Amino acid sequence: MLPPQGSLLVANPVHNNRDHLNSVVLITESTANSVMGLVLNRWDGLDLQKLFRQNGKDWNWPTPVYRGGDVNPTALVMLHTNEWYSSNTMQVNNNLSISSDNLMLEKLDMDNTPHWYKLFIGCVGWETPEIVRELQRPKSPWLVLEKPTLKTIQSTENSQWRRSIDELSQNTFSNYL
């Protein structure tokens, strides 16, 4: 089973190991060759002001930057609502898109922002057979939430895993009632 684009991989509470501890991953791309995503709830104090200062540039607003994963760790990616776009924007689902380009930063600097957005450095990725094997294991490290609510995706990093587990539970029980 290939996780669909726009779904969440949620660290399985039964098998919530150190590598995935309370992780929530939004699948941004799902193809026959690879699956890519963003870890939504890993923030360790990184800020866009700090990143810009390190590169000799100015950024006037404190803006948290989340660690989307270890793949391409210098790439800045913005997850945002669909009403906004930049020169390199890809739709994830009916509500969300991702952008990654210099125009995105220029627009943000001019206060041309989406209704909601979150910035990330890096992403996660799997070759398709690898993630399929992980999901088919008897004690898979991941649970798949195929159609997460926007409220769950937009929740804070501290509550996102719990909200995802609650949403998975509600979906499971609604299938039996």
What domains sit in the chain, N to C, each tagged with a CATH number? 8-176 (3.40.1740.10)
Say if CB 40 and CB 157 are below 8 A apart: yes
pLDDT at position 151 over 80: yes
CB 158 within 8 A of CB 24: no
Is 70:39 a contact under the CB 8 Å cutoff? no
Residue spans of beta strands (DSSP E) within 60-171:
65-67, 71-81, 89-91, 96-99, 117-127, 142-145
Q: Per-residue pLDDT averaged across 62-69, rounded?
A: 91
Higher pLDDT, 8 or 109: 8
**Residue 49 pLDDT:** 81
pLDDT tens digits for range 5-56:
999 999 998 866 666 789 999 999 999 999 999 999 998 788 888 777 776 6
Q: Which two tokens stand for residue 26?
A: 């939004």
110-136 pLDDT per residue, tens: 889 999 999 999 999 999 999 999 999
Interval 63-85 mean pLDDT = 94
Residues 52 and 56: their CA atoms lie apart, in Å, by: 6
The pLDDT score that the predictor gives to residue 127 is 97
